[in-house]
Amino acid sequence: MSKYYSNGKLLFTGEYLVLDGAKSLALPTQFGQDLVISPIKEPQLVWGSFTVTGECWFEAVFDLPKLRLKNATFNSDVEGSAEFIAETLQTILTEARKLNPDFLQVDSGFVVKTNLNFPRNWGLGSSSTLINNIASWANVNAYDLLWNAFSGSGYDIACAQNNSPILYQLENHNTSQKPKVDSVEFNPSFKEELFFVYLNKKQNSREGIKRYKLYQSKKDNITIQKDIDEVSMITQEFLNVTSTKDLEKVMLEHERLIASIIQLNPIKEALFSDYFGAVKSLGAWGGDFILATGNEDSLNYFKEKGFYTVVPYSKMIL
């Protein structure tokens, strides 16, 4: 039996602009996903994906070595279909084989189980942790697997592979992408005043990226570079904060910049205009988690607004 594990992720700074080479602060989470592989005699890949409560939400069987889908079931009435999920998995496995032609070229087979330790709708990286785990199993580069199978900046792959906060930047993003990952010290002394609030919906990052690219396409290269430089500077300011007040100032600065780029109201204006602390979107705007500064009264405030998942910083971040 073989087992692989990858960390989940949260993008603190540089949302959207990380795609264009901005320096961004990303934090691995205590939550993640594992991949457990057991050999069997039959030439099949028997796949099962399990939720944090141990329920199997997706099953599929592939013939080996051709990776031909035999059947699939999907226990969900929310998104997609069994065939769509199975074809997505098939794409990842096929691209992994292209990177390593020996992968899954066997006469026997495997039972594979994936286990999330966070709810699927939290948006902490159910896809990126899967891709990184499969890359580890196939002994291929996880960034290449991500970019060959799908798209994205790759910061989530970096979080999957690191156990401390990182600065992430795409170098030569207009030609051949090369991720630059540096471990950094980010452990605020005031972290008991920081909370993550789930907005009750998983955000489709592809839609947010599409909106971002639409507005950026109307700008000249000088203006775009100015945005990139500004968010990179704000990222550095995040690392230098020494108090909650300092952090709130930088959070507001970041929110104003991204709002001006994607032409959306910051989340505090949209949902929490009467909140006493600062609020910042994390990743694609409109869903998943936000960062909030606050105190013991914050939990009641967000619950009264209908947001019941409030996670303290120390229980979220590695």
pLDDT of residue 80: 57
Q: What are phi and psi of 165, to 5 degrees?
A: -55, 150
pLDDT tens digits, one per residue of 5-30:
999 999 999 999 999 999 999 999 99
Q: Which residue has the tokens 């320096």?
A: 23
pLDDT of residue 315: 98
DSSP secondary structure of 261-300? HHT---HHHHH-TT-SS-EEE-SSTTSSEEEEE--TTHHH
Cα(103)–Cα(197) distance, rounded to whole angstroms?
Answer: 40
User: Between these two residues, 178 and 103, which has the higher pLDDT value?
Assistant: 103
| β-sheet bridge partners, residue 178 | 171
Mean pLDDT score across all residues of the chain: 94
Cα(264)–Cα(244) distance, rounded to whole angstroms?
Answer: 25
* Two tokens, residue 229: 């430089």
Pairing of strands 2-11, 24-40: antiparallel
pLDDT tens digits, one per residue of 249-271:
999 999 999 999 999 999 999 99
Pairing of strands 56-63, 166-171: unpaired
Q: Which residue has the tokens 């990222």?
A: 235
Q: Is the pLDDT of residue 176 over 90?
A: no
* Two tokens, residue 6: 């990858």
Q: Is the pLDDT of residue 202 over 90?
A: no
Cα(275)–Cα(61) distance, rounded to whole angstroms?
Answer: 49
Helix, strand, coil shares, percent, the chain, to 5: 40, 25, 35
SS (H, E, C) 38-101: EEECCCEEEEEEECCCCCEEEEEEEECCCCEEEEEEECCCCCCCHHHHHHHHHHHHHHHHHHCC
- How far separated are the first and last CA of the chain, in Å rounded? 27
pLDDT tens digits, one per residue of 43-53:
999 999 999 99
pLDDT tens digits, one per residue of 51-91:
999 999 999 999 999 999 999 998 754 455 678 899 999 99
* Two tokens, residue 219: 């700008």
Q: Is the pLDDT of residue 193 over 90?
A: yes
Average pLDDT over residues 202-220: 85
pLDDT of residue 208: 81
pLDDT tens digits, one per residue of 271-306:
999 999 999 999 889 889 999 999 999 999 999 999
pLDDT-wise least confident of 39-53, 72-86, 105-119, 224-238? 72-86
